[in-house]
C-alpha cells in the first residue's frame, strides 16, 4: 500500500522535456552553456544537464574543445570525478547529462570556515591525488585544478568537475609536451607560464600542492596585486608558512611546489609519503570499464540516432513535502526560514509573507543601488553586476515559489562570478530586504528534540 505524498500547488508553468528528462531550475549560466537540474521520467533520478547552443559553438569555433571535454569525461570513470551519464543533441542544442552533485564547492567550505583541520585537509588531498593520478593514467590532464572546480557530494566526498581546459594525447606536440598556456594564475605551475612546453601530469600536481596549502592555511601561497609580481613569486616558489603548519605537510608541499618540474615529486612518490599515507584508503571501482566514444562525433553530425525531441509541456509545478525538506541540509527545516549574513552555499533561500509582486519589487530596489542591472520575467529575475570582478561579472538569479497561501520561498543562485564577491553582495542585499523576510517562530521545547 502506498501513501500519497502531500503536495503544495503552484500556478501552471511551461516545462521543457528533452528525451526522457524533465528540465527544472537553472543551476548556473555562462557565456556558452547553461546548467539545469533535471529528473529522469522513468527512474525519478535527479541529474544535472549542461545545455550548449550549437550555433554559438560553431560561431566561436569551439567544436573540438567541446568534443574534447565530452571525450575526457567519458574516459574518466572514477568515484572522485563528476560522472558523465550520457550525451544527447537536438537540432539546435547539445545536452551533456551529468551526475548531480549536491554538496557545493570545496571553495565555499574554505570561505565559510577558513582553514580545514589537518585530517580533513589530508582526506580531501588523498581523494584529489587518487582521482588526478587516475586521470593521468588515462592520459587526461585537467589543467585547471582549483577549489572552485572541486565539488562535494552528499557524503562529503570530493568530485572533480569542469574538464573544459583538459588535454588529451593528441594535443601533445612532437616534443611530447603541451604548449597551451591555460589555468588560473594563482594555481598554475611555473613551467606553464614560461611557455616552453610542459608535462600535463607535473603541472597538475603543482596545482594539487597549491590546493593542499589553501586547505590547511585558508589562503593562497602565491597572491600579489599584479600578474607580473605574482608570476615572479611562482617562478621562485617564494611563499611563507603559517606557524600552525605540521612539519609533515610542510615537507610534502615543499616537494610538490618545486619550481623545477624535473625534480618535482611524482604521484607515485606522493603515495609513499608518510604524511599522505595516514588513514589513506584507495578508491574502489572498476578500472577497466569500457568506453565508447562513437556518440561524440555523432552529436555534431546530425545523426538521427542521437537526435532528441525538445518539447514544451504546460503542467502544474508541485513541491511536495519531501522535496521541501530536501532543500534544507540535515532534514532541518529551520534553514529554510532563517537568513544568514553570509550564505553557506551559492544558493540561498528565505521566506516571506509579502505578495510575490512586493518581493520582486523589493529585491529590485535593493539590488540597483548595489550596481546591478535587473531583468524580470514573471517571478524570476536576473541580477547582473556592472563591475568586472575577479572571475568576470557577478550574475545572480532569483525565483519566487508559492509554498502555501500567503507564504512564499525566495531562492537566490549565483550563476557566474566570484564566490566571495557573491557573499559580499548577499550581505548587502539582505540589509535592504529586512521588511519582507519572515522568520519562523521557535519550536516549543518538546518539539526541538
**For residue 32, what is the domain's CATH number?**
3.30.200.20
Rounded average pLDDT over 22-35? 81
Q: What is the model's pLDDT at position 300?
A: 67
Same domain? 20 vs 156: no
Average pLDDT, the chain: 79
In a domain? residue 212: yes
In a domain? residue 382: yes
Cβ contacts of 127 within 8 Å, gap of 6 or more? 80, 157, 158, 283
For residue 181, the tally of other CB atoms under 10 A from its CB is 12
**Residue 176 burial (CB < 10 Å; 0-12/13-18/19+)?**
exposed
Same domain? 366 vs 233: no
Question: Is 120 a residue of the active site?
Answer: no
In what helix (H) or strand (E) does residue 128 lie, and over which residues does it extend? helix 118-137
Give the model confidence (pLDDT) of 354-400 as tens digits. Answer: 888 888 889 999 999 999 999 887 788 899 988 887 777 889 988 88
Q: What is the model's pLDDT at position 449?
A: 37
Please name the residue that has the C-alpha cell 514544451: 312
In a domain? residue 55: yes
In what helix (H) or strand (E) does residue 48 lie, and over which residues does it extend? strand 46-53
The Cα 291–Cα 308 span in angstroms is: 22
The larger pLDDT score, comparing residue 268 to residue 52, is at 268
50 annotated ligand-binding residue = yes
Whole domain around residue 411: which residue ranges?
319-441
In a domain? residue 291: no
Same domain? 434 vs 333: yes
Q: Please identify which of the residues 144, 204, 258, 418 carries the catalytic annotation.
A: 144
Same domain? 165 vs 240: yes
Cβ–Cβ < 8 Å for 422, 345: no
In a domain? residue 153: yes
Q: pTM of the prediction? A: 0.66
Give the model confidence (pLDDT) of 193-243 as tens digits. Answer: 887 777 888 999 999 999 999 999 999 999 988 999 999 999 999 999 999
In a domain? residue 448: no
Total number of domains in the chain = 3
Of the three residues 221, 252, 277, the one that is the final residue of a domain is 277
Task: Give me the CATH number covering residue 330.
Answer: 3.30.310.80
State the sign of the Cα–Cα–Cα–Cα dihedral 75, 79, 81, 84. positive
Of the three residues 85, 100, 115, the one that is the final residue of a domain is 100
Of the three residues 100, 121, 137, the one that is the final residue of a domain is 100
Same domain? 329 vs 385: yes
Q: What is the model's pLDDT at position 208?
A: 96
Task: Give me the CATH number covering residue 165.
Answer: 1.10.510.10
Amino acid at each position: 500500500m502506498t501513501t500519497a505524498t502531500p503536495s503544495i500547488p503552484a500556478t501552471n508553468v511551461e516545462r521543457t522535456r528533452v528525451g526522457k528528462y524533465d528540465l527544472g531550475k537553472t543551476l548556473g549560466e555562462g557565456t556558452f552553456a547553461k546548467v539545469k537540474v533535471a529528473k529522469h521520467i522513468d527512474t525519478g533520478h535527479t541529474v544535472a544537464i549542461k545545455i550548449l547552443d550549437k550555433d554559438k559553438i560553431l560561431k566561436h569555433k569551439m567544436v573540438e574543445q567541446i568534443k574534447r571535454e565530452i571525450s575526457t569525461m567519458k574516459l574518466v570513470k572514477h568515484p572522485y570525478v563528476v560522472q558523465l551519464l550520457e550525451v544527447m543533441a537536438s537540432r539546435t542544442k547539445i545536452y551533456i547529462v551529468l551526475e548531480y552533485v549536491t554538496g557545493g564547492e570545496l571553495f565555499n567550505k574554505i570561505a565559510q570556515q577558513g582553514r580545514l583541520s589537518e585530517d580533513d585537509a589530508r582526506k580531501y588531498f588523498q581523494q584529489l591525488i587518487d582521482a588526478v593520478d587516475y586521470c593521468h593514467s588515462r592520459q587526461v590532464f585537467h589543467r585547471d585544478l582549483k577549489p572552485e572546480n572541486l565539488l562535494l557530494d552528499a557524503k562529503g566526498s570530493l568530485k572533480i568537475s569542469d574538464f573544459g581546459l583538459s588535454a588529451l594525447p593528441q594535443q601533445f606536440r612532437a616534443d611530447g609536451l603541451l604548449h597551451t598556456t591555460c589555468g588560473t594564475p594563482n594555481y598554475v605551475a611555473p613551467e606553464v607560464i614560461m611557455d616552453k612546453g610542459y608535462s600535463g601530469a607535473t603541472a597538475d600536481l603543482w596545482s594539487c600542492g597549491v590546493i593542499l596549502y589553501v586547505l590547511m592555511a585558508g589562503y593562497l601561497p602565491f597572491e600579489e596585486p599584479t600578474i607580473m609580481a605574482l608570476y615572479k613569486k611562482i617562478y621562485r616558489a617564494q611563499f611563507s608558512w603559517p606557524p600552525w603548519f605540521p612539519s609533515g605537510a610542510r615537507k610534502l608541499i615543499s616537494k610538490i611546489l618545486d619550481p623545477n618540474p624535473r625534480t618535482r615529486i611524482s604521484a607515485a612518490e606522493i603515495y609513499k609519503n608518510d604524511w599522505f599515507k595516514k588513514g589513506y584508503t584507495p578508491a574502489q571501482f572498476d578500472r577497466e570499464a569500457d568506453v565508447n566514444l562513437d556518440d561524440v562525433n555523432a552529436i555534431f553530425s546530425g545523426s538521427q540516432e542521437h537526435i532528441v525531441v525538445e518539447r514544451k509541456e504546460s503542467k502544474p509545478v508541485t513541491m511536495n513535502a519531501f522535496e521541501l525538506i530536501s532543500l534544507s541540509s540535515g532534514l532541518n527545516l529551520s534553514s529554510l526560514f532563517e537568513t544568514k549574513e553570509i550564505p553557506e552555499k551559492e544558493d540561498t533561500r528565505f521566506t516571506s509573507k509579502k505578495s510575490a509582486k512586493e518581493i520582486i519589487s523589493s529585491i529590485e530596489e535593493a539590488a540597483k543601488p548595489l550596481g546591478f542591472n535587473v531583468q524580470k520575467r514573471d517571478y524570476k529575475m536576473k541580477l547582473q553586476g556592472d563591475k568586472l570582478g575577479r572571475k568576470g561579472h557577478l550574475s545572480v538569479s532569483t525565483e519566487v515559489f508559492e509554498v502555501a497561501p500567503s507564504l512564499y520561498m525566495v531562492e537566490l543562485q549565483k550563476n557566474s562570478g566570484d564566490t566571495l564577491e557573491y557573499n559580499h553582495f548577499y550581505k548587502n542585499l539582505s540589509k535592504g530586504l529586512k521588511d519582507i523576510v519572515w522568520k519562523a517562530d521557535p519550536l516549543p521545547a518538546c518539539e526541538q528534540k
